[in-house]
């Protein structure tokens, strides 16, 4: 492991932790505006997290170490996963960091713990959330893996770092397939981060909630960790989409100037994407749970079709 990689580990983690909450609140702001409200300040979320850290943690008397461990595992898995998706600076990959399959399964690791924590307290809300989350994640998985396979096929590498480096060198999407894949990646992003039309991140209503249901029993600093890991997940998936499709500014050299430019460009790009997600959410109603498989089936056939076109071309 060389110096630049070590530096990358620290910088990327700090950067993700700093900006992740911001992007969540940008989406919220856009949604509020779309609904005709002014919405809270985009920096409010930092105060909320700080407040949660100061509060006491409440555990159910029926809960076990699963509940206590989950927030830590969740944030650790997300932060390691975030290392697999460089935000602005792409170093040489070391020892399989950046492997796209490992990235997917790190997300699965966090989900596994979260679903168990949902069941731990014995609350019906948690169980409902866990059950739905595991079902949804299972049926979106084929689409995700097909899209990832297509990325591997287009970039001829299993590693996200190599993919980013290649797309940074090209400067713009190298094939039309990539642009079409962006649509599939967007669907995956919406599903994985529990957004409308799959889940509603705003409510605690038992009819709609999935992700919120699972973390209903979390409180205090544990809740802060869960919120933060959800934000990190959103950021890393957005970075994956953006750095592949619009790699402007992405740099492979470790120089302060280029990195500063890249960072500014990155925040701009993500803000635009967050705006799109906000508008997308505002223009849509949440789907009935059992209508989702048909949506996913559509996404699956769409991505398979793209790949087959690419393959036969």
11 binds another protein (CB under 8 A): no
Tokens of 176: 């039309």
- Binding to another protein (CB under 8 A) within 162-201 occurs at none
CB of 116 to another protein, least distance (A): 6
- Residues 174-209 as b/e (b if ≥16 CB within 10 A, e otherwise) read eeebbebbbebbbbbbbbbbbbbbbbbbeeeeeebb
Residues contacting another protein: total by CB under 8 A: 83
* Cα 77 versus chain centre, distance: 12
Stretch that binds another protein, among 21-29, 213-221, 244-252, 278-286 (CB under 8 A): 213-221
Per CB under 8 A, which of residues 226..285 are in contact with another protein? Answer: none
Nearer to another protein, 143 or 167 (CB): 143
Backbone angles phi, psi at 38, to 5 degrees: -85, -30
Of 90 and 97, the one with the shorter C-beta distance to another protein is: 97
If one asks whether residue 287 binds another protein (CB under 8 A), the answer comes out as no
Tokens 């009819």 map to which residue?
A: 207
Task: Figure out which of the listed residues 15, 24, 45, 77 binds another protein, where binding follows CB under 8 A.
Answer: 77
Member of 4, 32, 142, 202 binding another protein (CB under 8 A): 142
Figure out which of the listed residues 11, 32, 34, 149 binds another protein, where binding follows CB under 8 A.
149
Stretch of residues binding another protein (CB under 8 A), selected from 119-127, 180-188, 193-201, 271-279? 119-127
48 is a contact residue toward another protein (CB under 8 A): no
CB 7 to another protein: min, Å: 15
Q: Which residues contact 308 (CB under 8 A, 6 or more apart)?
A: none
Residue 289 DSSP one-character state: G
Question: Which of 31, 300, 302, 306 is in the footprint of another protein by CB under 8 A?
Answer: 300
d(CA 244, CA 258): 18
Among 16, 20, 45, 79, binds another protein (CB under 8 A): 79
As a whole number of angstroms, the distance between CA 303 and CA 105 comes to 20
Decide: helix, strand or coil at residue 251.
strand
**Cα–Cα dist 134/157, whole Å:** 29
């Amino acid at each position: 492991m060389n110096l630049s990689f070590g530096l990358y580990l620290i910088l990327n983690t700090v950067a993700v932790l700093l900006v992740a909450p911001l992007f969540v609140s940008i989406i919220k702001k856009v949604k509020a505006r779309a609904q005709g409200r002014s919405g809270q300040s985009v920096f409010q979320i930092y105060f909320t997290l700080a407040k949660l850290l100061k509060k006491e943690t409440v555990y159910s008397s029926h809960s076990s170490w699963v509940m206590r461990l989950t927030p830590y595992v969740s944030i650790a898995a997300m932060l390691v996963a975030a290392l697999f998706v460089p935000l602005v600076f792409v170093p040489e990959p070391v020892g399989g960091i950046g492997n796209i399959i490992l990235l997917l399964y790190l997300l699965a690791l966090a989900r596994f713990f979260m679903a168990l924590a949902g069941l731990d307290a014995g609350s019906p809300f948690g169980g409902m959330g866990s059950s739905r989350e595991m079902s949804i994640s299972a049926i979106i998985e084929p689409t995700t893996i097909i899209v990832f396979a297509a990325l591997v096929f287009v970039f001829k590498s299993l590693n996200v770092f190599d993919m980013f480096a290649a797309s940074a060198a090209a400067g713009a999407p190298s094939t039309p397939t990539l642009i079409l894949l962006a649509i599939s990646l967007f669907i995956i992003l919406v599903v994985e981060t529990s957004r409308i039309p799959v889940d509603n991140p705003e409510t605690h209503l038992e009819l709609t909630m999935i992700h919120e249901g699972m973390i209903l029993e979390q409180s205090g600093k544990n809740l802060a960790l869960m919120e933060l890991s959800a934000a990190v997940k959103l950021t890393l998936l957005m970075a994956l989409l953006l750095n592949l499709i619009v790699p402007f500014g992405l740099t492979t050299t470790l120089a302060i100037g280029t990195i500063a430019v890249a960072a500014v460009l990155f925040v701009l790009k993500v803000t635009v994407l967050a705006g799109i997600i906000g508008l997308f959410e505002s223009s849509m109603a949440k789907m009935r749970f059992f209508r989702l498989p048909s949506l996913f089936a559509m996404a699956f056939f769409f991505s398979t079709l793209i790949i087959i076109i690419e393959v036969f071309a």
